[in-house]
Amino acid sequence: MRLGELKNIIEGTAEPAFVLDANGHVVAWNRSARATFGVNEADAVGLHCSDLLHGIDECGKRCSHDCAIQKQALNNIPLKSYDIQLNADGERRWFSMVVTTVGDGQARASYTIHIAKPIDVQKRFELVLRDLIMKETDLSAAGASKLLAAERSPSGFTELTKRELEVLKLIADGKTTAVIADVLFISKTTVNNHVRHILKKLNANSRLEAVRRAEQARLI
């Protein structure tokens, strides 16, 4: 499908919508996106989506150039809609994002269409409800988030290898690097390498933060 046709498609929706190329850069930006996000098409085109909208999911993970959703979309893996907080004309607002892949006649998709449905009031209510559940029960933030369908967070799309999941589960159980190495029959250096990859993929600064985000996104 030609880029001009994609522009016509997104102009046909009243919701904010934009098109990304295979590298995550904006190639089309509709009128509603201009009005909602306060950015003109000329300024948006060419920017990476994460640099433009500064998305943060409900697990606290910030959007980056290493986007798991974009990778899965371009590999023709169907995605459910997900909730994301975006920079909307200087304010942080919640949106439900729908992603559709568009091919160019070849095996791999070449573009992704993103349609952002504003859900700010609904999302704020969910977060207040989550805090209330935590206050009135013994549930942690992760447990309360599970009740409110935290799998809609983009963190839930993060691709961890089987070994990384094994390491992360052992970390969640409080195991040290040395113990993890013994359990998995690998070296401590290999364990630390896995941990570095996990922290990067989950955009976490510590093992504890990685476990929290993984629990909220139901990865473990």
**213 part of a folded domain:** no
**35 part of a folded domain:** yes
Of 36-45, 131-140, 143-152, highest mean pLDDT = 36-45
Residue-wise pLDDT for 46-62, tens only, equals 999 999 999 998 777 88
**160 part of a folded domain:** no
pLDDT higher than 90, residue 2: no
Full DSSP string of 117-174: EE-HHHHHHHHHHHHHHHHHSS--HHHHHHHTTGGGSGGGG----HHHHHHHHHHHTT
Q: What is the pLDDT of residue 109?
A: 59
**158 part of a folded domain:** no
Residue-wise pLDDT for 151-210, tens only, equals 556 665 567 889 999 999 999 888 999 999 999 999 999 999 999 999 888 877 888 878
**140 part of a folded domain:** no
**CATH number of the domain bearing residue 25:** 3.30.450.20
Least confident span in 84-98, 135-149, 161-175: 135-149
Spatial contact of 99 and 18, defined as CB atoms under 8 Å apart = no
Instruction: Please choose, from the candidates 63, 55, 51, 54, the residue with its C-alpha nearest in 3D space to the C-alpha of residue 26.
Output: 51
Full DSSP string of 43-57: HHTTSBHHHHH--B-
Q: What is the pLDDT of residue 146?
A: 53
**155 part of a folded domain:** no
Provide the residue range defining the domain that includes 111.
3-119
Q: How confident is the model at residue 26 (pLDDT cuts 50, 70, 90)?
A: very high
pLDDT higher than 60, residue 34: yes
Total structural domains in the chain?
1
> Which stretch of DSSP H or E encloses residue 199?
helix 188-201
Residue-wise pLDDT for 120-138, tens only, equals 766 666 666 656 666 666 6
d(CA 153, CA 219): 11
> What is the pTM assigned to this prediction?
0.62
Structure tokens at 192: 């630390």
